[in-house]
Structure 1
Amino acid sequence: MCVHTEEAAVLKSGGSRLLVCAVALACWALVGPSAPGGALSGGSLPVEAVKDVLPNRVMTWNLCNPCDASNLDRAAEIAAHAPQVVGMQEACARDVDRIRDYLEAFHGLVYHVEYGTVLENWGRCGGAPWNPGGFGQAILSAAPMTDRVNVEYPDGGSEDRGYLAVTTEVGGRPVRVFNTHLAQRRQEEFRKDQVRVLATEVARQDRAIVLGDFNAVPQAPELGPMWDLATDADPRCHPSPVGTCAPTTDWQSKFDYVFLRGIAPGEHRVVPTEHSDHDMLYSDLDVT
């Protein structure tokens, strides 16, 4: 009997990722999409697999946790836009592993992954009580990543928060990429200190991309240090009240950002999704 691909991905700890992908493809070919609520759904698979990423495209996406979403559907949404780099927040390490495997198995997209775990939490990410799943940030990159730094903010507010930073390639150039998730709404006093910690590191970079869920609208005072260092991927979006910033959440607020330092923005888009309470946000960049 075939195992579903969600279950097959877990087996990668005892074998190669290629074997997992092969099992996933074989099972889908034999049994087809699973019933509603299962890992597979007929709308998840493209007619043709994507062959390559767009080398200058970056994306940020809060996956929503806990949310009843299929990792196969999440992978299909990412593959539809084929970014070079994806920053994920509210990400369980096991979910990210599966998303990466599905991107390769069903869409021909091969990514490296780095994790920015800030919690080991059974309630958030399952696992055995003595081995709960890791929760926090993650970065997928089509190019290798180096110089990984994972920082937990001194005070996360009601839940631990932090940022993950790596050096990778975007548009053929090395770039420092940050991925963060700030304290929850109505916790401005914590976000203020968190932004200061993050901005201090971003300021040391000549060229940087800062992805993440900042849980604050552009006019929020605590975002001031970021605006002093960087611009939004949407040139129309800025902290002035006359700025035009597309909302990125189900409650019609802009909380998700692609901040750029020393990099010019290109095409950008907020992509509505049924699989999270945050929309996907991507931008094509000019790193020259």
Structure 2
Amino acid sequence: MPCASTEEATVLGRSTRLLAGAMALACAALIGPSAPNDALFARSLPVEAPRDAVPNRVMTWNICNPCKESNASRAAEIARYAPQVIGLQEACVRDVEWIRQYLKSRYGLVYHVEYGTVLQHQGRCGGLPWRPGAFGQALLSAAPMTDHESVEYPDGGSEDRGYMAVTTTVGGRSVRVFNTHLAQRRQEAVRADQTRVLAAAVARHERAIVLGDFNAVPNAPELTRIWELSADEKSPCGPSSAADCEPTTDWQLTFDYIFLRGMAPVEHGVHLTSYSDHHLVHTDVGAPGPTRPVSTHAPSPQAVGPGPGA
């Protein structure tokens, strides 16, 4: 039975309107957690939000799924900081479409989008049995993106996982941006294999930004390859100073990172949000840092990067 809109029933009388409303609710239940019910359940929005993206700001956010949060509220959180690029994890395509719409219509922030979905999952993202929702990563960029790549890790652990990459502009410079979500907790060996794949891809680029939920604390051995490609001797947070890292999750662990390669951090922040079990993490980038070799397994990297939660 087709899902009629309540607008189509406005001229048909009160009884028909009630019937249409019931049908709309039934359809929302059928479609699942990614249905556009935000008009009914959206929470308060920020009074003041930037109308233009901050050109040198990058952000990462695991938006939590299935948390059944309002996409209007998610958009409001993103608009509060207005990044040039934001990487989302645990993202349903339908949710991202609504987030982009709210960012444009309510805040004047226009973003391009690319996806790195690795699952077709009705339970995660709703949809019909023959057309389940796509689930994984997404990148929103105020500048156009090219050379999109989506890679599924050979072993995702308990759930398929992967990384995506695009080339776009941050701080007026072309840069390769990666967005990933590594295997769940207590799957260290799987994550080590995943970072081996990711590090090989990152090492091919002189200038790169790596965003994501790594499900590992800063001094976890599986992150060694990524730290080597983004080593920053001056960072207040890193594998040797994990105690100085600000937590990025509700369970007081640092799992979310922004690694910079060939770019320098100017400002870094972790922002508590009530709309996910992960906090928003942002970094404003500046001019390239000094060149120094940090690994015999990769080209000499221009490597500076903010530790997570610095």
TM-score (normalizing by structure 2)? 0.79
* Structure 1 residue aligned with 2:238: 238
Q: State how far apart, in whole Å, the 2-side matches of 1:234 and 1:241 are.
A: 11
Structure whose alpha-carbon radius of gyration is higher: 2
Q: Secondary structure at the match of 2:89?
A: strand
Once the two structures are superposed, residues 98-152 of structure 1 have per-residue CA deviations (whole angstroms, 9 ceiling, x without a partner) of: 0001000101100000000100000000011100000000000000000000000
The question of 1:73 aligning with 2:69 is answered: no
Aligned length: 257
Check 1:162–1:51 CA distance in 2 against 1; reply closer, same or farther (3 A cut): same
* Structure 2 residue aligned with 1:21: none
* Structure 2 residue aligned with 1:127: 127
The question of 1:63 aligning with 2:52 is answered: no
* Structure 1 residue aligned with 2:178: 178
* Structure 2 residue aligned with 1:10: none
Q: State how far apart, in whole Å, the 2-side matches of 1:247 and 1:269 are.
A: 11
Q: Secondary structure at the match of 1:101?
A: helix
The question of 1:40 aligning with 2:42 is answered: yes
Once the two structures are superposed, residues 10-32 of structure 1 have per-residue CA deviations (whole angstroms, 9 ceiling, x without a partner) of: xxxxxxxxxxxxxx9xxxxxxxx
The question of 1:268 aligning with 2:275 is answered: no
**Are the aligned partners of 2:236 and 2:244 in contact in 1 as well (CA < 8 Å)?**
yes
Check 1:124–1:181 CA distance in 2 against 1; reply closer, same or farther (3 A cut): same
**Are the aligned partners of 1:234 and 1:268 in contact in 2 as well (CA < 8 Å)?**
no
Q: State how far apart, in whole Å, the 1-side matches of 2:152 and 2:203 are.
A: 18
* Structure 2 residue aligned with 1:20: none
Q: State how far apart, in whole Å, the 1-side matches of 2:97 and 2:251 are.
A: 29
Q: State how far apart, in whole Å, the 1-side matches of 2:74 and 2:233 are.
A: 23
Q: Which moved more, 1:68-77 or 1:233-242?
A: 233-242
Q: State how far apart, in whole Å, the 1-side matches of 2:93 and 2:233 are.
A: 28
Give the C-alpha shift of residue 242 in structure 1: 5.9
Please give the residue correspondences for 1:123-202 in structure 2 after superposition, counting only pairs within 5 Å: 123-202=123-202
Q: State how far apart, in whole Å, the 2-side matches of 1:93 and 1:234 are.
A: 38
**Are the aligned partners of 2:218 and 2:242 in contact in 1 as well (CA < 8 Å)?**
no
Give the C-alpha shift of residue 51 in structure 1: 1.6
Q: Secondary structure at the match of 2:166?
A: strand
Check 1:82–1:2 CA distance in 2 against 1; reply closer, same or farther (3 A cut): farther
Q: State how far apart, in whole Å, the 2-side matches of 1:53 and 1:95 are.
A: 21
Give the C-alpha shift of residue 47 in structure 1: 3.3
Gaps of 5+ in 2: 1-5, 9-20, 25-35, 289-310
Q: State how far apart, in whole Å, the 2-side matches of 1:59 and 1:234 are.
A: 21
* Structure 2 residue aligned with 1:204: 204
Structure 1 ranges of 4+ moved more than 4 A:
1-4
The RMSD of aligned alpha carbons is 2.1
* Structure 2 residue aligned with 1:229: 229
Q: Secondary structure at the match of 1:80?
A: helix
TM-score (normalizing by structure 1)? 0.85
**Are the aligned partners of 2:49 and 2:80 in contact in 1 as well (CA < 8 Å)?**
no
Once the two structures are superposed, residues 172-202 of structure 1 have per-residue CA deviations (whole angstroms, 9 ceiling, x without a partner) of: 1100000000000000010000000000010
Check 1:59–1:71 CA distance in 2 against 1; reply closer, same or farther (3 A cut): same
Q: Secondary structure at the match of 1:110?
A: coil
Q: State how far apart, in whole Å, the 2-side matches of 1:40 and 1:257 are.
A: 28
Give the C-alpha shift of residue 231 in structure 1: 3.7
